[in-house]
Amino acid sequence: MNNLHIHTGNGQTDSITAFAASGLSGPPVRKRPTHLEALEEEGIYVLREVAAQFERPSLLFSGGKDSIVLVHLAEKAFRPLGNPFPLLHVDTGHNFAETIAFRDALVRRNGSRLIVGSVQQSIEKGRVQEETGPEAGRNALQTTVLLDTLKEHNIDCAIGGGRRDEEKARAKERFFSHRNVFGQWDPKNQRPELWGLFNGRMNPGEHFRVFPLSNWTEMDIWQYIATENIAIPSLYFSHARNVINRRGVWLDDSPFITRYPDEEVVQKTVRFRTIGDATCTGAVLSHASSLDEIIAEVAASRITERGNRHDDKRSEAAMEDRKKLGYF
Amino acid sequence: MNHLDKTDHPPTVQETELLRFTTAGSVDDGKSTLIGRLLFDSKSIFEDQLDAIQKFSGAADQGSVNLALLTDGLRAEREQGITIDVAYRYFATPRRKFIIADTPGHEQYTRNMVTGASTADLAVILIDARKGVLTQSRRHAYISSLLGIPNLVVAINKMDLLDYRESRFRQIVNDFTSFAEHLDPGNITFIPISALQGDNIVNQSDHMPWYDGPTLLSHLEQVDVRDRRNLNNFRFPVQYVIRPDQDFRGYAGRIVSGTVSLGDDVIILPANERARISSILTPDGEVDDAGPGESVVLQLDQERDISRGDMIVKLDDVPESATRFEATVCWMYKQPLQTGKTYDVMHTTRSTRAVVGGISHRFDVDSLEQIPEKKLNLNEIGNVVLETAQPLFIDPYHVNSGTGSFILIDPDTNVTAGAGLIVEGSGAPDAHRHNTPSEKTEHVFWQDWNISREDREIHNGHKAAVVWFTGVSGAGKTTLAKVLEKELWEKGYQTMLLDGDQLRHGLNRNLGFSPADRKENIRRVGEVARLFFEQGNIVLCSFVSPYKDDRKTVRDLFPEDRFLEVHVHCRPETLIRRDPKKLYRKAQLGQLKSLTGYDSEYQAPGDEALSVDTDTTEVEQAISAIAAGLYPIVKKISKKV
């Protein structure tokens, strides 16, 4: 009967581990979220912070997949209310017809308010000067139009679909990115962002750009579109199109592009990886006609999606320079 | 427009986990090269990116690419060849998706690394094998430990320049380990690498046959990311009120920690009003319960006036509501933090004004010493006392990072000036709740007892002592305490028995089961025990008292040789079989949360306690073992004539 078992050592497992080992039903164990669930959750949290911290926020809508995902997230974040943010489209006037049709259908379906900043009108008003020649583009003009539109509508926060994986200057961008009264970004003097605490304080006349998709990659966007069944413009799927080849980039044979004499129009099966201004958005040769095929193509691709963007190729720091001035 | 009809089956998306890690190293340790290598070898760099850096570095003809250029995003960084700001990088393998917060290692270093570390699951610290463990490496380890990053990888780089010598690797491992003993850095893994040559980054190195551990990438893919989430203490800061019409009023927010279920009884802070959860709405529809990190909309069974910054918590687990607390602050602003200055504080979704009541000390992150200081400069870390205009609902950072962290904002410039981590047990509760100052105020002086304990002991005929029974519910503490008290009483000793339920019905009625409340409960019990002790009693205390620190605080109230701690324990199966208060049954059914030893932590004592295993010990045997330790302490003394 000498089963007295008294010891003063440490040799005990703590009870929680002991429960797990004993096979008895222990405390509830919650599965870690998948990467898409984690990203969606982060995006929703950031959008709710915007709604709470700002008075007149607006969602920058280009008709591209990132801003479509943003609208989808905003719908989900505020259920049963739906997306509370008006959509702001900076319209270069050089659009793909599909983009505008898609935009209008989406606004009709969701009942969102649409604010359009028109580059064409700014040119007519003399706020900006149209570029000329074959390399002309309205990309640079968008910055002035965007800032004018924010000011006109008193918008204190513009939500954008920018992602840090897109471009190296964007890799340094914050979720909550402060802009001074001139709309400028100071990359060397950004506010540190810790935990989930976002500081949206500012003085009158200043504004914020907020990027809920900061941590998403192109692949995440496509996977999310697929799992959530989100409608996107037909331009993203392969189709036959008349194109011209300029320095390796396939550009749409658009009425807005002045061709060089030696450039000839050919018909190719293409799709677009990004959608922007028709004069600077390149297509890729592709037969991917379903989301599955697009995901497979993105996975195998050895070129970034902005590799076909003419606007980024102007100089090594083209994006950084434009962002400092107030670009998207 | 909708081309989804082209796919008649849902596309296959592979489910992978997300791992966030931060990288830190000193200037020229080769950190950017390491990240470049990781991206390059895992095929996450695209041809046009490579073209661009080849063009910039003129490297095409040199046959090698400067991989560091991939991570230096800003023009000034490329021009100066240094990294200025935290950069985020992304790559994926079939097993995991990775987010790298790449923090530069020079000036601004502390600010950047604290920022990167605040959300990381793992930290990679880079050490130049030629230089060994530097001051910077120590800082990196200290910050990882401060921020509670559960996993640390020490990558010892440039092994190629030292002929891949094992002895050098071992030496650095020893140096780092002996330093890290003073910290709590989680799990540490050491990997010898050459970022430039690609040794042990993605592919196993042929040059170091003596190393049989994982490569960096395979470690990142397989490391068991200890859950940073707190699953026990439900905390729901209201982020935004959704009210589309008169019929719907929902409170949107992210569950910081713990879980919530339909029908849970909750308290809304600061109003202290009760309600019941009537619906839990996720972005994908209604659910019965939800857990940490999930963004949900909660509805309550009755109309309450709730706005952003309020907190919904469970009835039986209320956090401390404090207007004065101590925190470790990392200062990030060029104007120093100063006593008496007012800042805005953002804590969860709640904002208020705060004044710095005092600076306790600054940490010298190199020597880990505490230095008295009047102010904190940019990139310095120290402990300060904050006093807030409105109460904050806090937990210690190491228990709950979501409710234990805050930022300070300079109200003049709106700049984020500091990051704070709330220190355990530092909160002076808000005056509306339990009104106990955390420290003696200067107006209270210790008075000697009118009749000394020694005189009382002589009068009683024996010495006084405290026997403290600790252990989870059902282990047998109270059973043993009762039998022991009877025995002592019959032998003529003066005794008093205190137990948890008894005190919780009276003195401690206003306390719940949060870590802060448990702490306060034990503090009060200790003080009550002391009064009986001073009266000359043998005080038997039966309390779960799960935290080591709290038991030590009680122990410190008494002379060292008069305090006997007894750890009562048994197998989990026995606990569930006994279950005298049906607590385990309730916990299994989900009707009870934060049951110590079940879903709430119990820190078992070590050598300081006598250990009694009630599975293998009969009651009488246990009593005689305890008595053997007790009788010499309380030995009878003869009355003076």
- The SS3 of residue B103 is coil
Question: What would the DSSP string read from start to end of B167-186?
Answer: HHHHHHHHHHHHHHTTS---
Interface test with A, best of B40, B88, B225 (most A CBs within 10 A): B88
Give residue B427's pLDDT band: very low, low, confident or very high (50, 70, 90). low
Q: Which of residues 92-131 of A touch B (CB under 8 A)?
A: 98, 101-102, 105
Burial B395-422 (b: 16+ CB within 10 A, else e): bbbebbbbbbbbbbbbeeebbbbbbbbb
Res B176: pLDDT:
92
The token pair that represents A221 in the structure block? 């966007």
Report CB contact under 8 Å: A12, B569: yes
- pLDDT greater at residue B276 or residue A319: B276
In what helix (H) or strand (E) does residue A251 lie, and over which residues does it extend?
A: strand A249-252
**Which candidate in B72, B78, B242 is best for mutational testing of the A interface (most A CBs within 10 A)?**
B242
- Which H or E run contains A109? helix A97-110
At B200-238, the pLDDT tens digits run 998 899 999 999 999 999 999 999 876 677 888 999 999
- So what's the pLDDT on residue A36? 93
Q: Sorting pLDDT into bands at 50, 70 and 90, what band is B438? A: very low
Cross-chain residue pair B97–A195, CB shorter than 8 Å:
no
Give B67's contacts (C-beta < 8 A, 6+ positions apart).
B32, B33, B35, B36, B37, B40, B195
What sign results for the dihedral spanned by CA atoms A139, A144, A145, A150?
Answer: positive
Band (B155; pLDDT cuts 50, 70, 90): very high
Of A116-125, B103-112, B117-126, the range with the highest mean pLDDT is B117-126
Beta-carbon contacts of residue B353 (< 8 Å; ≥ 6 apart): B342, B343, B344, B345, B388, B389, B411
CATH topology of domain B321-429: Elongation Factor Tu (Ef-tu); domain 3 (2.40.30)
Tokens at B579, concatenated: 């279950």
Average pLDDT over all residues of chain B: 84
Q: Which residues of B touch A77 (CB under 8 A)?
A: 252, 283, 295
Structure tokens at B179: 């330093």
Angstroms from A79 CA to nearest CA on chain B: 7
H or E segment to which residue B496 belongs: strand B495-499
Residue B347: closest CA among B270, B241, B275, B273: B270
Q: What is the pLDDT of residue B21?
A: 94
- Whole-angstrom Cα distance, residue B186 to residue B124? 13
Q: What is the pLDDT of residue A1?
A: 35
Question: Percentage of chain B surpassing pLDDT 70?
Answer: 84
- What are the domain boundaries of chain B? 17-222, 235-314, 321-429, 453-630
Mean pLDDT of B469-474: 90
How many helices (H) and strands (E) chain A has is answered by 9, 11
Is the domain spanning A35-218+318-325 CATH 3.40.50.300? The answer is: no
Question: Once rounded to an integer, what is the mean pLDDT over residues B590-619?
Answer: 80
**Would you say B200 and B192 are in contact if contact means Cβ atoms under 8 Å apart?**
yes
User: Between B346 and B442, where is the model more confident?
Assistant: B346
Q: Which residues of A232-264 are buried (b: 16+ CB within 10 A; e: fewer)?
A: bbbbbbbbebebbebeebbbbbbebbeeeeeee
Q: In chain A, which residue's Cα lies nearest the Cα of B614?
A: A5
- In angstroms, the Cα distances linking A240 to A22, A253, A283, A286 are 64, 12, 11, 10
Average pLDDT over residues B191-198: 92
End-to-end CA gap in chain B: 106
User: Which chain A positions have a beta carbon within 8 Å of B92's beta carbon?
Assistant: 217, 219
For B485, the 3-state DSSP assignment is: helix
Q: Are B295 and A48 in contact (CB under 8 A)?
A: yes
* Cβ contact A241:A270 at 8 Å: yes
CB A327 within 8 A of CB A143: yes
Higher pLDDT, A297 or B26: A297
Q: What is the pLDDT of residue A155?
A: 95
Give the Cα separation of A57 and A49 in Å (integer). Answer: 11
The helix or strand, by DSSP H or E, that contains position B330, with its residue range, turns out to be: strand B320-331
Q: Which amino acid belongs to residue B621?
A: Q
- B251 pLDDT more than 90: yes
Token look-up 């919780």 returns B504
Banded model confidence at residue B442, pLDDT cuts 50, 70, 90 = very low
How far, in Å, CA of B549 to CA of B554, rounded? 9
Q: Residue A47 burial (CB < 10 Å; 0-12/13-18/19+)?
A: buried
| DSSP single-letter state for residue B381 | E
CATH 1.10.238.10 fits B453-630, yes or no: no
Q: Is the ipTM of this complex over 0.95?
A: no
Stretch among A276-280, B32-36, B628-632 having the lowest mean pLDDT: A276-280
Task: State residue B428's pLDDT score.
Answer: 52
Angle at A125 between CA A121 and CA A130, to 5 degrees: 75
Which pTM does this prediction carry? 0.73
For chain A, the structural domain boundaries read 35-218+318-325, 234-311
Please say whether the dihedral angle defined by the alpha carbons of residues B591, B594, B600 and B604, taken in this order, is positive or negative. negative
Residue A3 has a pLDDT of 35
Q: Do domains B17-222 and B453-630 have the same CATH topology?
A: yes
Region of poorest pLDDT, from B91-105, B289-303, B349-363, B510-524: B510-524
What's the sign of the alpha-carbon dihedral B115, B118, B122, B127? positive
Q: Is the pLDDT of residue B252 over 50?
A: yes
Does the B235-314 domain belong in CATH 2.40.30.10? Answer: yes
Interface of A with B in 34-93 (CB under 8 A): 34-36, 38-41, 44-45, 48-49, 51-52, 76-82
Q: Which of B522, B532, B517 is nearest to B470 (CA)?
A: B522
pLDDT band at residue B584 using 50, 70 and 90 as cut-offs:
confident
Bond into B270 cis (ω within 30): yes
Least confident range from A174-178, A225-229, B9-13, B173-177: namely B9-13
Q: Give the CATH superfamily of B17-222.
A: P-loop containing nucleotide triphosphate hydrolases (3.40.50.300)
- Residues in chain A predicted with pLDDT less than 50, given as ranges, are 1-28
- Cross-chain Cβ contact A295/B571 below 8 Å: no
DSSP characters over A126-169:
TSS----STT--STTHHHHHHHHHHHHTT-SEEE----TTS-TT
Q: Shortest CB distance from B293 goes to which of A41, A79, A292?
A: A41
pLDDT of residue B66: 65
Q: How far, in Å, are A234, A273, A291, B475 from residue B6 at the CA level?
A: 11, 18, 9, 63
Q: Above 60 in pLDDT, residue B630?
A: yes
Tell if the CB–CB gap between B405 and A197 is shorter than 8 Å. Answer: yes
**CB contact residues (below 8 A), chain B span 289-318, against chain A:** 291-295, 297, 308
- Where in the sequence numbering do the catalytic residues of B fall? 545
